[in-house]
Amino acid sequence: MEHERSGAQTKPVATKLGPAPVSRPAAGVESIATTPLQGEVTWLGTFVRRYFEPLVLSIQVMVDLAVVLFACWLGFQTREAFVTSPRTELSAYVNVFLLTGAVCLVTFHAFGLYSPLKSLLNIEEFKAITKSTVVSFLVVHMLIVFLAPTPMSAEAQARRQGSIYEWLEPLHRWIDLDVNPLNYSRIVALLAFAWILVLMMASRFACFKAIQTLHRRGIGNRNALIIGTGPAARRLEKKFLLVPTLGLNLAGFVSDRPGGVSAVSGRTRALGSVENLEDLIKVHKISEAFVTIPEATDEELMAIIERLERAGVVFHVVPHFYHLLAQRVRIHSLDSVPLVTRRERSASLPGILAKRVLDIVGSLVVIVLCAPLFLLSAIMIKRQSPGPVFFMQTRVGQDGKPFRIFKFRTMHVHLSGDAPKPSNSSDPRITRIGKWLRRYSLDELPQILNVLRGEMSLVGPRPEMAFIVDHYGALERERLRVKPGLTGLWQISYARGEAIHENIDYDLYYIENQSFLLDLVILALTGFAVIKGTGAY
């Protein structure tokens, strides 16, 4: 998060993607690469690299099924722990729980939870868990009603003799659930799906972290190329370097022009040009390619895509108007000519009311729970350095309206003001209590007052200072469409160490996809970040 400063400094990124160096045995030392054990390890490593995604998918399905069944059992046990009537046998719910597991797996797949492609910070996955859990609840209880055995009188059975129902009766008996809806506890159903929602969120979060750890160590990564050397290619390279957990190992650049390799400079090396694209793919074992040539003609672009398809490489094209596609658009055609049109952008009244209620309720809860922390912080600030408790600064809010933002003062008064933000915790301008407040982002807490006053929201783009907003272009001014927030996607992203206005992608994503559920997910992830102490200096 940003603090008392007039501009943000960019932290250098230490991560460098590329092939790992090959270690060789010293002279006179026998290599163990030929031993049976080493051969088995090498074979296993090759197998994991080749089938990483299918293996992860299979494990994920089994974990999800185990979580759903455990949540159902937990729902049953929760109800039985508080019920006063005679206990129900668990065997009465076995069929329903198995049905719940099957339905949940199908709905998880339908909502894209088993797709190898992940959204920004896995936000869409958390939203999909909520939606799929609600749909599973409705489907399961619809099936319970339709698949429950139906008692039939002898007269009704006699009328069905010789009809088509007589042929369908064995099938009906086979799919019947041995459950009477009248004896099935609705409380167990509600508790089971509540536990499914909570445990699936926790399980998926843990799985995401585990997969990220594997990718960070180079396990399961796919080699990738960037075709192009212009600004779009450099922006994409920056994403690779900032987010080493994408599962992609950037092998290097490929120039789209003959002789253009020498013009490439930066962290990632240039491998060659499109003239020898097929050879580069074989040598570097490329699985995916990103085409970043916005100035290319249709013929040039299609020629590159055709060569990638022949080589069996998955390709992605970065369009020159990708910021427009980051917004909500719809694609239709005018007599076979594809057109891109921006969708209606007005927020719905229920959405506006829900966000405001969340802001007010959340702010009041924070004030009540953190009142002792507010008081203690104020006392420590006054004791350690003379000056006011709060640091106030003019920021630009929704529709360009200026307002005064509140923060706990973390610097000595005579050393603060309009200056670059501290680059490390040993900056002499920061007080002792200020270091602690900044580490856990607690210096931002007084902005709860701005939220209550309606100048800010709990979630939204961070407010910038006027001299920065004065240099905004049309794209950056999109940030001013909504209220600024106490937290947002940028604060919980890998790019939080860089300037706010240089990471417009996060703000555009939030503005175009904002919802009550998205706000809850961001607030939850912010809580984890605060607990970990990953705030700014």
Instruction: Render 311-337 in DSSP notation, one character per residue.
Output: TT-EEEE--TTHHHHTS-EEEEEETTE
Look at residue 328 in the predicted model and tell me its pLDDT: 66
Q: Which of 94-103, 132-141, 406-415 has the lowest mean pLDDT?
A: 406-415
Report residue 135 as tokens: 């749909």
**Percent of the chain with pLDDT strictly greater than 90:** 28
Instruction: Using alpha carbons, list the distances in angstroms from residue 506 to 262, 295, 488, 510, 522.
Output: 33, 25, 8, 6, 12
Whether 260 shows a pLDDT value over 60: the answer reads no
Predicted local distance difference test score (pLDDT) of residue 267: 67
Q: Express as a percent the part of the chain with pLDDT over 70.
A: 73
Three-state secondary structure of 203-266: HHHHHHHHHHHHHHCCCCCEEEEEECCCHHHHHHHHHHHHCCCCCEEEEEEEECCCCCHHHCCC
Higher pLDDT, 157 or 490: 490
- Which range has the top average pLDDT, 11-25, 76-90, 271-285, 417-431? 271-285
81 φ/ψ angles, rounded to the nearest 5 degrees: -70, -25
Neighbours of 17 (CB within 10 A): 20
Determine the 3-state secondary structure of 12 from DSSP.
Answer: coil
Burial string for 405-416 (b: 16+ CB within 10 Å, else e) reads: bbbbbbbbeeeb
Q: Using alpha carbons, select from 170, 204, 185, 176 the residue that is nearest to residue 61.
A: 204
Tell me which H or E stretch contains 350: helix 349-384
User: What does the mean pLDDT of the chain come to?
Assistant: 79
User: Kind of pairing, strands 222-227 and 248-255?
Assistant: parallel
CA–CA distances in Å: residue 218 to residues 210, 237, 264, 284: 13, 17, 25, 15
Residue 389: C-alpha distances to residues 62, 167, 440, 511 (Å): 53, 82, 18, 33
pLDDT digits (tens, 9 = 90+) for 445-476: 999 999 999 999 999 998 988 988 998 888 88
- Among the listed residues 475, 462, 454, 442, the one whose alpha carbon sits nearest the alpha carbon of residue 395: 462
Question: How many C-beta neighbours within 10 Å does residue 207 have?
Answer: 18
pLDDT at 338: 78
If you average pLDDT over residues 177-182, what whole number do you get? 65
**Residue of 258, 261, 267, 322 lying closest to 291 (CA atoms):** 322
pLDDT at 37: 45
Average pLDDT on 218-238 reads: 86
Q: Are 390 and 450 in contact (CB under 8 A)?
A: no
β-sheet bridge partners, residue 393: 405
Mean pLDDT across 509-514:
85
What helix, strand, coil percent values describe the chain, rounded to 5? 55, 10, 35
Check: pTM over 0.85? Answer yes or no: no
Which tops the pLDDT comparison, 21 or 83?
A: 83
- Residue whose structure tokens are 């051969």: 39
Pairing of strands 329-334, 337-342: antiparallel
Residue 174 has pLDDT above 70, yes or no: no
Instruction: Using pLDDT thresholds of 50, 70 and 90, give the confidence band for residue 357.
Output: very high
- Please determine, for residue 22, whether its predicted confidence score (pLDDT) is greater than 80: no
pLDDT attached to residue 148: 64
User: Inter-axis angle of helices 516-532 and 504-513, to 10 degrees?
Assistant: 140
pLDDT tens per residue across span 118-171: 776 677 888 899 999 999 999 998 888 776 666 555 665 556 565 555 665 665
Structure-token pair, residue 258? 């003959």
Please state which CATH class domain 221-320 belongs to.
Answer: alpha beta
Q: Residue ranges of the domains in the chain?
A: 52-150+167-215, 221-320, 349-532
Each as own residue / partner, the long-range contacts of residues 316-322 (CB below 8 Å, 24 or more positions apart, any chain) are 316/288, 316/289, 316/290, 316/291, 317/290, 317/291, 318/232, 318/236, 318/290, 318/291, 318/292, 318/294, 319/294, 320/232, 320/294, 320/295, 322/232
Rounded alpha-carbon distances, angstroms, from residue 2 to 232, 421, 438, 461:
27, 8, 9, 12
250, 237 in Cβ contact below 8 A? yes
Backbone angles phi, psi at 114, to 5 degrees: -110, 20
Average pLDDT over residues 296-316: 91
* Two structure tokens written together for 283: 């040598």
Give yes or no for a contact between 137 and 101, defined as CB atoms under 8 angstroms apart. Answer: no
pLDDT in tens, 378-400: 999 988 888 889 988 899 999 99
pLDDT above 80 (res 85): no
Confidence of residue 288 (pLDDT cuts 50, 70, 90): very high
Q: Is the pLDDT of residue 11 over 60?
A: no
Q: How confident is the model over 418-441, as a mean pLDDT?
A: 73
Q: Strand 288-291's sheet: what is its strand order?
A: 270-273, 248-255, 222-227, 288-291, 314-317
One-letter identity of residue 251: A
pLDDT-based confidence at residue 107 (cuts at 50, 70, 90) = very high
pLDDT reading at 15 higher than 60: no
Burial class (CB in 10 A: 0-12, 13-18, 19+), 86: exposed
292 closest CA partner among 256, 258, 324, 260: 256
pLDDT reported for residue 28: 37
Which of the residue ranges 177-186, 404-413, 450-459 would you say has the lowest mean pLDDT? Answer: 177-186
Confidence of residue 194 (pLDDT cuts 50, 70, 90): very high
> Does residue 99 contact residue 178 with C-beta atoms inside 8 Å?
no
Cα distance between residue 17 and residue 118, in whole Å: 20
Look at the chain and count its residues: 537
- Confidence bin at 421 (pLDDT 50/70/90): low
Write the CB contacts of 266 (distance below 8 Å, at least 6 apart in sequence).
Answer: 234, 237
